[in-house]
Amino acid sequence: MKKGVKLSWGRFTIVFLAVALCCAMSAQAVVIDGNVNPLDEWSGTYMLTDPNELNIPDDWDIADVFGVSGSTYVSFRVDVYGSATLNAYGLGTCFYQVHMDLDLNMATGRPIDGIGAEYVLDYRKIGGIPSARLYDTRDGGWTYLSDQTGAQVSVTELRVIIADMEGAIPGEVMNVVFAINNGGSPPDDVTDMMGYVIPEPSMILGLLTGLLLLLGKIRTTEG
């Protein structure tokens, strides 16, 4: 019954390519707009729930955090127990920070909560004006490096270009600590350290999925 296989090739090559394309597109499906889209763009990217500390006002008290990576960007989401908007502080200053320890060595970079961060991704509003920035903290200080992307409406979403961070390689692990600082020091809320795996680009997953579908169909038609 080999003719069934022959007739299936064209059709399932299309399926194969379509699945690969869909998976590749989903690799960058997170939209940095400050809201979670109806399809839940952050599904499967949950990292940790930080407790609601009684002594930290809920508007800058970290709740759930999420992280996901494609081949170009690493994206993060930070939820708080109160209102996400910094309007709660009027025209005051507040910083949402993601501290990233790329070499998994707490002795290098800027120390915070058990890690030594080489880079900090920062979203802030000063005088009501928002900005997202990447800082180089490899020497222990804060050196502005580049503008990144951030948005805050119902949640806070942040995105950093992997290529902007020397030593960051898709597929390798970084240690991450989230912090919210409402203008003072040290930060008002800091999460526990968590390991974060940057996944391989999803194109590879898409190609494997398509290949499995194709092989499954060939087996079916052969049977």
**Where does this chain bind Ca ion (CB under 5 A)?**
31, 33, 50, 52, 56, 58, 61-62, 101, 103, 105, 108-109, 116, 189
Q: How far apart are CA 7 and CA 85, in angstroms?
A: 57
Distance CA 118, CA 201 (A): 23
For the chain, the residue count is 223
Spatial distance between the Cα atoms of 16 and 187, rounded to a whole number of angstroms: 48
**Complex with Ca ion: residue 24 or 80, whichever CB lies closer:** 80
Closest CA to 170 of 160, 157, 182: 160
CB of residue 52 to Ca ion, shortest distance in Å: 5
Between 50 and 122, whose beta carbon lies closer to Ca ion?
A: 50
Q: Kindly tell me which of 104 and 208 has the beta carbon lying closer to Ca ion.
A: 104
To the nearest whole angstrom, how small is the minimum distance from the Cβ of residue 93 to Ca ion?
Answer: 20
Q: Tokens 């502005």 belong to which residue?
A: 144
Compare residues 103 and 164 and give the one whose CB is closer to Ca ion: 103
CA angle 91, 97, 98 (to 5 degrees): 160
Nearer to Ca ion, 20 or 56 (CB): 56
Residue nearest to Ca ion (CB): 116
Q: In the bound complex, what is the minimum distance in angstroms from residue 31's beta carbon to Ca ion?
A: 4
- Name the minimum Å distance from CB 219 to Ca ion: 40
Report which DSSP code applies to 113: T
- Residue 159's contacts (CB-CB under 8 Å, 6 or more residues apart) are 30, 32, 73, 74, 75, 76, 132, 148, 149, 150
The least CB distance from residue 124 to Ca ion, in Å, is 19
Closest distance of CB 188 from Ca ion, Å? 9
CA distance 93 to 157: 18
Q: Which is nearer to Ca ion, 85 or 108 (CB)?
A: 108
